[in-house]
Amino acid sequence: MKFFLDTANLEELRKGADWGIVDGVTTNPSLIAKEGIPIEDQIRRICAIVDGDISAEVVATKYEEMVGEARQLARLHKNVVVKVPLTRDGIKTTAQLSKEGIRFNVTLCFSAGQAILAAKAGATYVSPFVGRLDDIAQDGMELIRQICTIYKNYGFGTQVLAASLRSPLHVAQAALAGAHVGTLPFKVLDQLFNHPLTDKGLDQFLKDYAKAFQETAAR
């Protein structure tokens, strides 16, 4: 499973990249807005920190403008993957520009049927939102399982990018379901390290070691 960081914050990206386990980045207009820097500048900075696929999302909603924005974003860096919403215009843009070699992440996917559209359009990634389905009392993880099964049934090359993951449990469940990628807020990536028995075990190892050698030195 590839790990992407779901943030546009450079400090979080530097910390994550420093651990050596971050394979890419996803952003969206809300995350870019939070940083207060125009998308093109921020995406260039992100590309300089993380060497992997970087999703940059269009804000146009109409096909003609979306195509223009997609081309502009794709030109920023070879690692940019253009993110478009799962709408008629988004799917049409994906189908059209995929033929030119531009890579797409089709986002805001909430049903298995929608995920089939993304695959048929030639998207590199589809982003089903787990947490937002859970928020409305639907089973977000079941959607990941369904899409993985359907893509396997037909040999679709589109990768399932599990998004809106809110906890370490979500990450493990998405991996079990077969998601190719999980995109994690920095907080969730950080939480993945934690286990009380790891802390307890390490504490004991160090105490035993120190005690043995202190005793040896005292003899």
How far apart are alpha carbons 36 and 48 in whole angstroms? 18
Q: What is the DSSP letter of 179?
A: -
Nearer to ligand G3P, 112 or 130 (CB): 130
Distance of closest approach, residue 161 Cβ to ligand G3P, in angstroms: 8
Instruction: Please indicate whether residue 83 is annotated as part of the active site.
Output: yes
Helix orientation angle between 63-74 and 88-98, rounded to the nearest 10 degrees: 50
Residue 163: what are its φ and ψ, rounded to 5°?
-120, 175
Give the residue carrying structure tokens 């993110």: 83
Q: Are strands 80-85 and 104-109 parallel, antiparallel or unpaired?
A: parallel
Distance of closest approach, residue 185 Cβ to ligand G3P, in angstroms: 7
Distance of closest approach, residue 215 Cβ to ligand G3P, in angstroms: 52
CB 94 within 8 A of CB 118: yes
Q: What is the DSSP letter of 163?
A: B
Nearer to ligand G3P, 82 or 163 (CB): 163
Distance of closest approach, residue 94 Cβ to ligand G3P, in angstroms: 17
Query: Nearest residue by C-beta to ligand G3P?
Result: 164
The residues of the shown chain that bind ligand G3P, judged by CB under 6 A, are: 6, 26, 28, 129, 131-132, 163-164, 166, 183
Nearer to ligand G3P, 68 or 94 (CB): 94
Give the residue carrying structure tokens 């919403």: 85
**Active-site hit among 15, 34, 78, 83:** 83
Nearer to ligand G3P, 96 or 134 (CB): 134
Q: What is the DSSP letter of 183?
A: E
Residues with a known catalytic role? 83
